């Protein structure tokens, strides 16, 4: 069987408080609108089936209304992912 990775859920959080007190921007799996200069926290769950690599190169993308998906390019930046 071919290993599979899949994003199951995501949720966007405002950057307006501590880990416990910050408010949610929307519900689970809800598309939200944010100003381009606004700092947001993104939480998501990625499922990796048996045989999938332990370390994966993930990419973050965005889409404007009516547009196509674009990769967010962040050169020389290490994104801290928790597994």
Q: Over 80: is that where the pLDDT of 77 sits?
A: no
pTM: 0.64
31-62 burial: b if 16+ Cβ within 10 Å, else e:
eeeeeeeeeeeeeeeeeeeeeeeeeeeeeeee
Is there a contact between 22 and 11 (Cβ–Cβ < 8 Å)? Answer: no
* Phi, psi angle pair for 71, to nearest 5°: -75, 135
What pLDDT was estimated at residue 76? 60
What pLDDT was estimated at residue 28? 94
| CA distance linking residue 79 with residue 74, whole number of Å | 9
């Amino acid at each position: 069987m071919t290993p599979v990775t899949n994003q199951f859920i995501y949720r966007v959080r405002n950057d307006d408080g501590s880990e416990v007190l910050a408010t949610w921007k929307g519900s689970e799996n809800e598309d939200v609108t944010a100003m381009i200069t606004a700092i947001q926290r993104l939480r998501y769950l990625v499922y990796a089936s048996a045989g999938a690599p332990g370390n994966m190169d993930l990419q973050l993308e965005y889409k404007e209304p009516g547009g196509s998906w674009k990769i967010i390019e962040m050169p020389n930046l290490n994104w801290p992912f928790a597994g």
